[in-house]
Amino acid sequence: MAGTEINEGIDRYAYHQGLFVIKPSGEGVAIANDDDFKIATWQIST
């Protein structure tokens, strides 16, 4: 999940869903997830 403006709580929701949170930082962007972050796993059914 990335955005130039992130409504309050949306970043926490994305984090808890296992999504990377990307926020503006200086002239670029930065991943805001901490060391405890657990990436969501996706399964593709065939």
What is the arithmetic mean of pLDDT over 38-43?
Answer: 91
CA 1 to chain centre: 5
Q: How many domains does the structure of the chain reveal?
A: 1
Domain holding 2, by residue range, is 1-46
What is the arithmetic mean of pLDDT over 14-40?
Answer: 92
Torsion of CA 15, 19, 20, 21, to 10 degrees: -50
What is the value of pTM for the model shown?
Answer: 0.72
Residue pair 21/11 in contact by the 8 Å Cβ criterion: yes
| Predicted local distance difference test score (pLDDT) of residue 5 | 76
